[in-house]
């Protein structure tokens, strides 16, 4: 069954982060930070697991073109505060039921939707689980996309040159400013984008005959699953080396319990579907 995941976070200087470094790492690329005082080469070309990485422009900039290095150096230059947000990321789980091309098309479609929604530029990197990650316990079905968005809106001049404006995207302004523009709180916007991903993915999944995803929490769906506890760096390191930990064992018990609950949920759904099929068949027969 396809897994729903759509989460967002900011790339912020306050956390010691760089949009250029973030883009290079996610894309498996080599990018030079052109800052004359703090310039640094971020080289992640040897990184495995990156299936593709593409710049996605909003519809209004369809005739333009911009490279990854130029884009994220511009994003950094446009921010002057030490604690500025320099990018926003959306992380989405891509349905493993789809083939490679369908997953890529779906990720690009959603990235384009976000770019149009906020009039920003997206950098979409699609990752696949590597053999090393699977050996360490990662799921072989962990296909996902990192979508980096500029925090300022983008435009194009008469010569076809793309540049970022001084205007913050609606996804980056305060709730007070959003209210002045007649927009809901950012928490409501995040929920709306999660639902947008659900609808976007489900169109493809339904067309391909696969089960659909649901953006609601398990609790809202009436599924009594227990969340796993956070392992922490030390316990995770020990588990990867084959050294069982108390936290790891606790999570394994949760996984086993949740599997029983989930299987019961699937059985109940199947019974409901079978009953519905019988009812439909009876109605057709009576007609």
At 104-130, the pLDDT tens digits run 999 999 999 999 999 999 999 999 988
**CB neighbour burial string for 13-49, b if at least 16 within 10 angstroms, e if fewer:** beeebbbbbbbbbbbbbebebbeeeeeeebebeeeeb
Secondary structure class of 123 (helix, strand, coil): strand
Tell me if 88 sits within 8 A of 186, measured CB to CB: no
More confident residue, 62 or 285: 62
Mark out the alpha helices in the chain (DSSP H runs): 19-27, 68-77, 100-118, 131-135, 175-180, 186-207, 233-240, 246-286
pLDDT above 70 as % of the chain: 80
Q: How far apart are alpha carbons 267 and 151 in whole angstroms?
A: 45
Secondary structure class of 189 (helix, strand, coil): helix
Mean pLDDT over 32-38 rounds to: 83
Q: How far apart are alpha carbons 66 and 7 in whole angstroms?
A: 26
The whole-number pLDDT of residue 107 equals 98
Question: 15-24, 51-60, 137-146, 268-277: lowest mean pLDDT where?
Answer: 268-277
The tokens of 260 are what? Answer: 């029983």
pLDDT in tens, 142-180: 899 999 999 999 999 988 999 999 999 999 999 999 999
Mean pLDDT over 28-50 rounds to: 90
The whole-number pLDDT of residue 269 equals 55
Residue 5: half-sphere exposure toward Cβ, Cα within 13 Å: 14
| Partners of residue 164 on adjacent β-strands | 154
pTM of this structure: 0.78
Residue 61 pLDDT > 70:
yes
pLDDT in tens, 232-254: 777 777 776 777 787 777 667 66
Tell me if 106 sits within 8 A of 204, measured CB to CB: yes
Secondary structure class of 185 (helix, strand, coil): coil
Contacts of 169 (CB under 8 A, 6+ apart): 88, 118, 119, 120, 149, 150, 151, 152, 153
Residue 3 pLDDT > 70:
yes
Indicate if the alpha-carbon torsion angle 206, 211, 212, 213 is positive or negative: negative
The tokens of 185 are what? Answer: 């709180």
Contacts of 227 (CB under 8 A, 6+ apart): 254
Contacts of 54 (CB under 8 A, 6+ apart): 108, 123, 124
């Amino acid at each position: 069954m396809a897994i729903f995941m759509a989460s967002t976070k900011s790339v912020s200087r306050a956390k010691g982060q760089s949009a250029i470094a973030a883009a290079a790492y996610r894309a498996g690329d080599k990018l030079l930070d052109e800052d004359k005082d703090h310039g640094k080469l971020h080289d992640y070309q040897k990184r495995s697991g990156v299936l593709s990485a593409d710049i996605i422009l909003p519809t209004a900039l369809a005739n333009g073109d911009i490279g990854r290095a130029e884009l994220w150096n511009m994003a950094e230059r446009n921010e002057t505060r030490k604690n500025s947000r320099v990018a926003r990321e959306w992380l989405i789980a891509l349905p493993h039921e789809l083939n490679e091309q369908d997953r890529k098309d779906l990720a690009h479609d959603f990235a384009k939707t976000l770019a149009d929604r906020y009039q920003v530029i997206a950098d979409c990197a699609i990752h696949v689980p590597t053999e090393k990650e699977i050996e360490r316990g990662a799921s072989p079905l962990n296909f996902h996309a990192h979508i980096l968005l500029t925090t300022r809106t983008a435009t194009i001049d008469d010569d076809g040159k793309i540049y970022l404006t001084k205007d913050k995207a609606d996804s980056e302004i305060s709730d007070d400013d959003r209210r002045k523009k007649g927009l809901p709180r950012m928490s409501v916007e995040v929920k709306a984008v999660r639902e947008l991903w659900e609808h976007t993915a489900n169109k493809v999944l339904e067309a391909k005959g696969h089960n659909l995803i649901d953006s609601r929490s398990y609790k809202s769906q009436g599924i009594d699953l227990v969340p796993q506890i956070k392992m922490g760096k030390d316990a995770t390191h020990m588990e990867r080396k084959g050294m069982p930990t108390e936290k790891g064992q606790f999570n394994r018990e949760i996984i086993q319990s949740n599997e029983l609950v989930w299987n019961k949920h699937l059985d109940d759904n199947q019974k409901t579907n079978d009953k519905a099929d019988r009812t439909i068949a009876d109605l057709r027969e009576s007609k």
